[in-house]
Structure 1
Amino acid sequence: MYNLLIADDDYEIRNGLCKYFPWDVVGFHVVGSVENGKEALEFIKRHEVDVILCDIKMPIMSGIDLASELSSLNSKVNIIFFSAYKDFLYAQKALENGVRRYILKSTNYQELIQAFTNIKEELDQQLLSSTKQGQDFSKKIIGTIKEYVEVNYRDATLEDLARLVHMNPDYLSKFFKKNAGMLFSEYLMQIRMENAAQFLGDIQYKTYEISDKIGYSNSFNFTRAFKNYFGMTPRDFRNQKSSDNERLENSFE
Structure 2
Amino acid sequence: MHTLIIIDDEEEIRNGLSRFFPWHELGYEVVRTFDNGKAALDYLLTHPVDVALCDIRMPIMTGIELAERLHREKSETALLFLTGHKDFEYAKQAIIFNVNNYIVKPTKYEELYAIFSSLKLELDEKKGGSERKIESDHGSVIRAVKLFVNQHYQDVTLEKAANHVHLNPYYLSSYFKEKTGENFSDYVLRAKMRKAVELLADIRYKTYEVSEMVGYSNAKNFTRTFKKFYGVTPREYKQSGAPSE
Normalization by structure 1: what TM-score? 0.50
Cα deviation for residue 127 of structure 1 reads 2.0
- Provide the C-alpha distance between the structure 1 equivalents of 2:106 and 2:6, rounded to a whole number of angstroms: 17
Matched, 1:44 2:44: yes
Task: Give distance in 2, aligned partners of 1:106 and 1:86.
Answer: 12
Q: Which residue of 2 aligns with 1:106?
A: 106
- CA distance in 2 between partners of 1:101 and 1:39 (Å): 22
AA aligned opposite 1:11:
E
Q: What corresponds to 2:124 in structure 1?
A: 124
**Equivalence for 1:246:** none
Distance 1:104 1:120 in 2: 20
Structure 2 stretches of 5 or more lacking a match?
A: 132-245
Structure 1 runs of 4+ with >6 Å offset: none
Q: Identity over the aligned pairs, expressed in percent? A: 46
> Which sections of structure 1, spanning at least 5 residues, go unmatched?
133-253
Give the root-mean-square deviation of aligned CA atoms. Answer: 1.5
Report the 3-state secondary structure (helix = DSSP H, G, I; strand = E; otherwise coil) of the residue aligned with 1:64.
helix
1:64 pairs with 2:64:
yes
Matching residue's letter, 2:28: F
1:140-190 Cα offsets, whole Å, 9 max, x none, are: xxxxxxxxxxxxxxxxxxxxxxxxxxxxxxxxxxxxxxxxxxxxxxxxxxx
Query: Quick one: distance in 2 between partners of 1:8 and 1:31?
Result: 15
Q: Secondary structure at the match of 2:4?
A: strand
Length-normalised TM-score, structure 2: 0.52
For 2:70 and 2:130, how far apart are their aligned partners in 1? 24
Instruction: Quote the offset at 1:47 in angstroms.
Output: 2.0
**1 CA distance for matches of 2:12 and 2:27?**
23
Q: What residue number does 1:55 align with?
A: 55
CA deviation digits over 1:197-245, x for unaligned, max 9? xxxxxxxxxxxxxxxxxxxxxxxxxxxxxxxxxxxxxxxxxxxxxxxxx
Q: Which amino acid aligns with 2:77?
A: V
1:49-75 deviation digits (Å, cap 9, x = unpaired): 110000000000000000000110111
Q: Secondary structure at the match of 1:46?
A: coil
Q: How many residues align?
A: 132
Question: How far apart are residue 131 of structure 1 and its match?
Answer: 5.0
